[in-house]
Amino acid sequence: MTTGKTFKDESIHLDGQAYETCTFENCTLIFSGGEIPTVAGCEFRDCQWRLEGAADRTVSFLKSLYHVLGEGGRTLIEAKFEVIRKA
């Protein structure tokens, strides 16, 4: 667990990490689809978020389902978004 640290102008790989009350300034935050990170009470200023590896492939797959399967694909993906909104 990293607590109370300020990260500035860095690329941070989030997979499997834990951050509490940290500040991220002008960072690139990268998630690759590994172990889900824990982030609590952190502040993000002018950061970019990037998906790589399995995480990026998952988004590509979901986009494909949305566009290729017609109305059924759109309904499926919108239902997943609704689960996210209600979390």
- Indicate the Cα dihedral angle 11, 25, 50, 87, nearest 10°: 130
Same-domain check for residues 2 and 38: yes
Percentage of the chain with pLDDT > 70? 100
pLDDT at 75: 96
Please tell me the pTM assigned to this model.
0.86
Closest CA to 65 of 55, 77, 53: 77
Q: Across residues 58-81, what is the average pLDDT?
A: 96
Same-domain check for residues 6 and 37: yes
Same-domain check for residues 59 and 84: yes
For residues 30 and 12, is the Cβ–Cβ distance under 8 A? yes
- Residue 27: domain span: 1-51
Q: What is the mean pLDDT of the chain?
A: 97
Same-domain check for residues 58 and 68: yes
pLDDT tens digits, one per residue of 24-60:
999 999 999 999 999 999 999 999 999 999 999 999 9
pLDDT at 87: 86
Q: Is residue 19 packed enough to be buried (19+ CB in 10 Å), middle (13-18) or exposed (0-12)?
A: buried
Same-domain check for residues 14 and 35: yes
- Indicate the Cα dihedral angle 63, 64, 68, 74, nearest 10°: -30
Same-domain check for residues 43 and 2: yes
